[in-house]
Each structure stands twice: as structure tokens, then as C-alpha cells.
Amino acid sequence: GAGVSQSPRYKVAKRGQDVALRCDPISGHVSLFWYQQALGQGPEFLTYFQNEAQLDKSGLPSDRFFAERPEGSVSTLKIQRTQQEDSAVYLCASSRPGSTDTQYFGPGTRLTVL
């Protein structure tokens, strides 16, 4: 596809449920990023992959958050035992090789935890 795609666009979960959010980057983009955007705030970094290697996961807020990119393309962000404070928009971005190339963002997944 032409841009970064994410699914689902909206997800409602009951507290305690596990969720999985998918990101399909722009074809050929080596780098992939996940960000969390709370309502009315700027996005905050969660984690970064270069190909299948997770090079930085320092932004993951707890061990309930886990991300993977096993084949160096599609990535999944998993949140276990969701809590209300996990409610946010989760944004995925990809960029070409080169650590400081421009990041292009997907439409995001809006997660609501009840």
C-alpha cells in the first residue's frame, strides 16, 4: 500500500483483557516505531525496530506491553491485562533505512479500556 496501515482502527476492551494491535509499514521501510498518544497530548515514544531487531524499548510503560516484528515487516503491539490508563491512540510510524529519516505515520488505533 501507499502508506502505513493499522488495524483495528478502534478497539474496546474490558479491563483485564489482552489486546493486539497491528501495524503494516510502508513497503521497503526498515525502521518501525510505536507511539502512544493520550487525549490532548503529543505522541510519546514506546519502542523502535530496525528490521526484526527491537533496538529500543525504553518507552514501554510496563511489562504488560510487548511488541514484535518477527519477519521485519508487520509489527504487533500487545498489551496484556489492560488497564484503564492504557486507553489512548496507538500510532505506528515507519521510515527508510537511516536512523533519522522522516517517520511516516499510520492512522492509529484508538483503544478504550472499560
**Which residues of this chain interact with another protein, rule CB under 8 A?**
31, 33, 35, 41-45, 48, 55-56, 59, 89, 91, 93, 95, 99-100, 102-108, 110
Instruction: Please report, for the chain, how many H helices and E strands are present, in that order.
Output: 0, 11
* Residue closer to another protein, measured from CB, 20 or 30: 30
Q: Work out how close the CB of 102 gets to another protein at its nearest, in angstroms, rounded to a whole number.
A: 5
| CA–CA dist 9, 67 (Å, integer) | 18
- Return the percent helix, strand and coil in the chain, to nearest 5: 5, 50, 50
Q: Which residues of 62-89 are buried (b: 16+ CB within 10 A; e: fewer)?
A: eeebbbebeeebebebebeebeeebbbb
Q: Work out how close the CB of 83 gets to another protein at its nearest, in angstroms, rounded to a whole number.
A: 22
The strand pairing partners of 110, in sequence order, are 10, 89
* Residue closer to another protein, measured from CB, 34 or 79: 34
* Residue closer to another protein, measured from CB, 21 or 93: 93
* Residue closer to another protein, measured from CB, 14 or 53: 53
